[in-house]
Each structure stands twice: as C-alpha cells, then as structure tokens.
C-alpha cells in the first residue's frame, strides 16, 4: 500500500500529469488527430503554467493552513510532557553540517520542536521519520546541538509515513495530550491520523507558506518553482485527505 500511495501521488503531481497529457497529445498527432492532439497539448501546458503561479499555490495552501492557527505564546500547557516532531527528508553526504542535510521543511519542524520543548519543563522530544536515511536521526543530532539533552530525546526512526508515525507515537504516549509539530499544510491530515490512532495531539503548526498579506503584482503572472512547489504540496495533502475519507491511511 505504501508503494501504491507513492506511485499514485507521483502520477498526480502537476509536472507528471501534464507530461502524460502532452504524451497523449503527441500520440493523437501521430495518428493525424490534430484537433484532439492540440487540445491535450494546450491543457498540458495550461496545467504547468497555472500550477507554477505563486497566487495559485498560496490559494490552494491557505485553507489547509487556516485549519489550525499557530500555537499562541501564552497558551497554558501544564500537563504536556511530550513534543512530537514529524519527519521530512534527511540526506547526509560529503560531511556537510546537519543543517544542510535536513531539508528546509524538516528544519522548520525540528527547530520549532526544540523551541517548544525548551519552553516546557521536563518535556521529552520525540523525533520521528524513517526511510533509507531516517530524518529522526538528523533531527536528534540537531536537537542535541541546540541544547536538548540526549536523555530527553526519543528517536522514532521506523515509520515510513504519517500513518505509521501516528500509530507508533500513540503507543509511546498513550492517551495523554502532547504537542504535535509539523508543517501547517500537513497538520489537518496529521491530526486526523493521530486521532484515528487514539492519540490526543495539540496542533503546533510551523512552516506556514500561504502569506495572506502578499501583494498581487505583474510578476505573479510569471511561472516559478516556488509556485509549483506550493501547488504540488497542496495537491498532495488534498489527495491524502481524500484517501482518509475512504479509510486509507
């Protein structure tokens, strides 16, 4: 199921989906169906263009990020003993510092997790994320360098996706409330998965990207990698939420 989910997700990314449309258009053109071919080509190019616009990416991310606002600085957390940080990507190589090996999403998550753990008395920091090079390992290294005691860090380096992270965290923490740190766009799906696993997360989102105060300028009509990244991220989360509605983790 993990492989199937990854494959479906990859096929529905804007660039891959547009490439499939263009390929179909080329096949129709080879069979001299020029009008049908032109339609597929135009739609394919249109998908890439719209997906690469910053306003489109922000508009898709905004409903996800608004679901759970940032944790207020004055929030009372007297009984919280755990801070759980969800995984991202970690690629150590060529002796680069850990801050270069963790991707920007993971950096936002682990730094926020460390900040919150230091705010709480005697809290344990649960760093999560598995795979070929588990992000939990990189998180733990950075957390130690930022001043978190090794005894206060729990490394959960086996889960391959958020569903597995939820189940293993629930086994560790049980029914007591804890702070859940992940990207704001990922939080709606993460909360549902953790609650389905029987856990009681307190959302502490970070990595907010949908800046509501951003002004629309002529440059907003130019495609770019940031817009494409945001669109792809949002579509991935909407697809995940849709799968949850059908009982698929």
**pLDDT value for 248:** 76
Q: Which residues 6+ apart lie within 8 Å of 15 measured at CB?
A: 48, 51, 228, 232
Residue 236: which of 246, 247, 228 has the closest Cα? 228
Encode 194-230: b = buried (16+ Cβ within 10 Å), e = exposed: beebebebbbbbbbbbbeeeeeeeeeeeeeeeebbeb
C-alpha distance across the termini of the chain, in Å:
9
Cross-strand partners of 124 = 82
Beta strands in the chain (DSSP E): 82-85, 124-128, 153-156, 177-181, 200-203
Using the structure block, give the residue that is written with the tokens 């890439």: 48
* DSSP character string of 32-83: T-HHHHHHHHHHHHHHHHHHT-HHHHHHHHHHHHHTSPPPPTT---TT--EE
- CB pairs under 8 A, 24+ apart, for 95-98? 98/138, 98/141, 98/142, 98/145
Distance between CA atoms of 246 and 249, rounded to whole angstroms? 9
CA-to-CA dists, residue 129 to 67, 98, 156, 157, angstroms: 24, 15, 7, 5
**pLDDT value for 73:** 87
**pLDDT value for 213:** 61
* Domains located in the chain, CATH noted: 2-65+221-245 (no CATH), 73-203 (3.40.50.620)
Instruction: Provide the residue-wise pLDDT of the chain in tens; the chain has 249 residues.
Output: 556 666 776 777 899 999 999 999 999 989 888 899 999 999 999 999 999 999 999 999 999 999 999 999 888 887 899 999 999 999 999 889 999 999 999 999 999 999 999 999 889 999 999 989 999 999 999 999 999 999 999 999 999 999 999 999 999 999 999 999 999 999 999 999 999 999 999 999 999 998 766 666 777 888 999 999 999 999 999 999 998 988 777
Q: Please tell me the chain's helix, strand, coil percentages from 3-state DSSP, rounded to the nearest 5.
A: 55, 10, 35
Cross-strand partners of 156 = 128
Q: Give the predicted TM-score (pTM) of the model.
A: 0.90
Q: What are phi and psi of 217, to 5 degrees?
A: -130, 175
Angle made by CA atoms 138, 105, 141, in degrees to the nearest 5 = 15
* Residue 3: half-sphere exposure toward Cβ, Cα within 13 Å: 0
């Amino acid at each position: 199921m993990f492989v199937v989910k990854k494959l479906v997700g990859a096929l529905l990314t804007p660039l891959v989906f547009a490439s499939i449309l263009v390929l179909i258009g080329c096949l129709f053109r080879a069979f001299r169906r020029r009008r049908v071919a032109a339609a597929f080509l135009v739609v394919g190019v249109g998908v890439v263009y719209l997906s690469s616009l910053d306003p489109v990416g922000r508009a898709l991310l905004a409903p996800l990020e608004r679901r759970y606002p940032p944790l207020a600085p004055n929030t009372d957390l007297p009984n919280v003993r755990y801070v759980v940080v969800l995984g991202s990507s970690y690629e150590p190589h060529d002796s680069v510092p850990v801050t270069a090996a963790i991707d920007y999403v993971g950096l936002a998550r682990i730094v926020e997790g460390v900040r919150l753990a230091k705010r709480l008395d005697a809290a344990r920091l649960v760093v999560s994320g598995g795979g070929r090079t588990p992000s939990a390992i990189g998180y733990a290294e950075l957390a130690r360098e930022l001043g978190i005691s090794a005894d206060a860090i729990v490394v959960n380096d086996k889960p391959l996706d958020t569903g597995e992270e939820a189940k293993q965290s629930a086994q560790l923490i049980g029914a007591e409330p804890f702070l859940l740190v992940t990207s704001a766009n990922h939080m709606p799906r993460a909360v549902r998965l953790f609650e389905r696993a029987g856990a009681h997360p307190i959302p502490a989102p970070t990595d907010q990207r949908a800046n509501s105060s951003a002004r629309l300028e002529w440059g907003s009509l130019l495609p770019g990698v940031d817009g494409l990244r945001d669109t792809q991220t949002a579509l991935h989360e909407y697809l995940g939420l849709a799968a949850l509605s059908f009982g698929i983790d």
